[in-house]
Structure formats: structure tokens, C-alpha cells
Structure 1
Amino acid sequence: MFSSFKLTSAEREALNAISTRIHRPAKRHIYAQGDAGNYIYRIRSGAVRLEHHLKDGRNQIFAFLWPDDMFGNLEGGAYHTSAITLVDTYLFQISYPALKDLVQIHPRIQTLFLRQALDYAKMAERHLLLATYPLVVKRLAGFLLECSRQADFFDRGSNILTLAMDRKDIADYLGFAIETTSRTLKELEDMGLIQRLSAQRIKIDRDRIGAII
């Protein structure tokens, strides 16, 4: 529906004018759950995880975000998740009041944010599908396939995926123990679907993984 939607040069300039470029090193909070929500963010480069802190003390990771993704949804004026960088990350920071005023002048910009909201819904749907695969090996294989769609982290020439997240992040996202992550990676390697080159770099066979999902 919005696949061909593009901002005009005037709209882009107006949006850039209210955007501040910021940097966060790896493993740093951009905001914490419950903080007053003053800004919306768009990733220039890097990667971010969104997590919800449960009452029993656990953290539930429900999204990994990549370049061009937007985030910063509010509930009652506060962020309902924590946003934490996975790697060195550069962002655009946009204040909600400035964005609200801008939409009054350039109403088409609201369509851009609606498209981002729909993309967010699709991402949540993919997470639900991954987390409910009955076979753990399929959950992890599907996750690696999802990560390989990010050009900044996957080299199509060598088929090498550089993971932005650690084993615990993956386990929390897919809903199993950290020990299961390591064990299942070995199982995928024994099946010839991946080759672990280091803790973060994995050579993957996208075609064969896609065939089993």
C-alpha cells in the first residue's frame, strides 16, 4: 500500500531540521522502561534491542531493530519498553512536540510514520512465529535467516553473518535457555547449515535454511 511512498525534498528537509543526530556506544540505554517519552528515534546505523522488564525480574526481548527502523512508542506518556544498543549505534532523535507541529505543516509525513508502524506490526508477527516453532532448531535457524536480511550485518559474497547480539539476547528473544542457544548452534553446524567462524561470525547456507523453515 505504501511501498512506493516517498517524501518530497521539502518534506525531507523539514524532517531533518527537527532531527538531532546522536551516538550511543554498544550496550548502552537509549531510554529505560517507564521514562517520560519525549522523543522518537530512527536508526542511522547499528542495531538496538527492545525489552520489557517483567515483574518477576526477567527481561523479555521482543524486537531487534536495524538501520532505518523507528521506535519510541508510548503508553500514558512513558516508554513501555527499554531500548538498548547492541553495537556502536548512530540515531536520529526527533522530539514528539516538534513532530506534532511538523505534521500540521506537512501532513504527508504522517504517512511515513504510519508505514513504520505497519512494519513494526509485521516484525512483531515474525517474532511470534519464530518463538512458537515447536522445534528449537527451526526457531534458531529462522532467526539467523531473519538476521541475514540486514545488509549491514550480512556479506552476500561470503555468506558470513555477523551477529549484533550475544547468546543471551538470542535466548531471551526466542524463549529458551542460553545453554540451548549454544547446543542448537552446534546442531545446525552438524547438519551443515552453518559454520561458526567466531563467537559473532557465522557462515550460513541461506538456501538450505530456508528450505527447512
Structure 2
Amino acid sequence: MFRDFTLTDKEREALNTISTKIHRPAKRHIYTQGEAGKYVYRIRSGAVRLEHHLHDGRNHIFAFIWPDDMFGVIEEGVYPASAIALVDTYLFQIPYAALLKLIETHPRIQTLFLQQALNYTKAAQRHLLLATYPLVVKRLAGFLLECSKQADFYDRHSNVLTLAMDRRDIADYLGFAVETTSRMLKELEDMRLIKRLSSQRIVLDRHKIMEIF
């Protein structure tokens, strides 16, 4: 059920009992910043972006969430950010109150959530590293490598990466203009590190890309 943590059958059954399977079409909100926080989520399939609405009206994307990942941080009773489905996405919705009660009888499940929190911290560190590379072409190349770790979106036989997000999402996440995304994709293609098949499908030469880091 989870990549890095093995549940017993009893624990899995208990967690499944309090979970509801839900679906969100692409570009639909799962929850909105400031909304009362009642649930945590795990992605069954699809992908999600987390964004924070700034006072000047902009939305800052700070994380992409992938299959088997969990999300739904609650601060002072509300969600501090919005979660939006990038593609057709299926999720497990877990009531926070029921989860707290479940941990009382199945304390090992808390370890699972702590491990997920650690994975989230590692992802935040990777984002910080990507967003601070002085060369924007290196930021984009590193981002494509990160995306290629997701088996649901990367075919290792054909080396084709299907992007779940659009160019505006990528630009916001990496901290540059939308036009820069297009220009850097062309530069990567000129360097023969990628080959664009369409706006969302890209052939990656992962070995050559790794050599520039």
C-alpha cells in the first residue's frame, strides 16, 4: 500500500475502513487554502499540486504530489495551502479525527505518517536546491529528472516522460517566467538532452542530463 512502510493485514484493514475513495478531474480543487481541515489524503493515481495564495493575488506552487504520497497538512484547524489535481486523480480521503483515534489502537500507523512527513521534508529540500541553481537550464533539467522517478509518468523502456503539469506550473515551481520554460526546453533539446514529442511528452536522455550536475 505504501512504498516505504509495510502494514500488517490488520493495520491495512483498519486504515481502509476509515478511508473513502474519491475522484477529482484535472484542474479541480481537492481543498482550498483557508478551508477547515478535516481530511488527509493519499494519491492512488494521478498527481496534485500544492499552492499558496499570496497577498498580491499570485499563487505560488511549492510542491507536486505523486502516487502513493500523502498530503493535507492542517495548521490551526485550516489548510494553509490549496491542493489541485493536475490530471485525472483518484485519492483515499481519510478523516483526521478518525485517524487520531485509529492511531491510539494501531500506534505503528503513526510511524507511517511520520515517515511520509520525512519524505515531504526531503521533497522540500530538493525543491529548494532546484529553485536556487544559478543556471535556469539546470533547474529545468533537474526538475525533469525528478519527474522521471515517477513510474506512472515515465516509461523506462522508451524513456518518454509525460508531464503532469503545464509550463506555467513548471515556471512557478522553479521560479522563472513561462517564456523561460519554453526557451530552456529548446536549449535542452539543442544540447540533445531531450526530444520533445508534444507539449506534454518528452524523451529524456537521463544519463546525459545527470552528467551536467
TM > 0.5 fold call = yes
Query: In angstroms, what is the RMSD of aligned CA positions?
Result: 0.9
1:203 match: secondary structure: strand
Letter in 1 for 2:136: V
Alignment of 1:36-185 (within 5 A): 36-185=36-185
1:176-200 per-position Cα deviation (integer Å, ceiling 9, x unaligned): 0000000000000000000000000
Q: Which runs of 4+ in 1 moved over 4 A?
A: none
Match of 2:9 in 1: 9
How has the CA–CA distance of structure 1 residues 98 and 127 changed in structure 2, closer, same or farther, with 3 Å as cutoff?
same
- % of aligned pairs identical? 76
Shift of 1:4: 6.4
Unaligned runs of 5+ residues in structure 2 are none
User: How many residues are treated as equivalent by the alignment?
Assistant: 211
1:145 match: secondary structure: helix
1:105-155 per-position Cα deviation (integer Å, ceiling 9, x unaligned): 101100000000000000000000000000000000000000000000000
How has the CA–CA distance of structure 1 residues 209 and 118 changed in structure 2, closer, same or farther, with 3 Å as cutoff?
same
CA distance in 1, matches of 2:130, 2:166: 18
CA distance in 2, matches of 1:26, 1:160: 21
CA distance in 2, matches of 1:70, 1:52: 18
Shift of 1:6: 1.7
CA distance in 1, matches of 2:172, 2:182: 13
Shift of 1:7: 1.3
Letter in 2 for 1:63: A
1:87 match: secondary structure: coil
Shift of 1:5: 4.0
Letter in 2 for 1:22: I
Greater shift, 5-14 or 185-194, is seen at 5-14
Shift of 1:97: 0.7
Unaligned runs of 5+ residues in structure 1 are none
CA distance in 1, matches of 2:15, 2:9: 10
Match of 1:31 in 2: 31
* TM value normalised by structure 1: 0.98
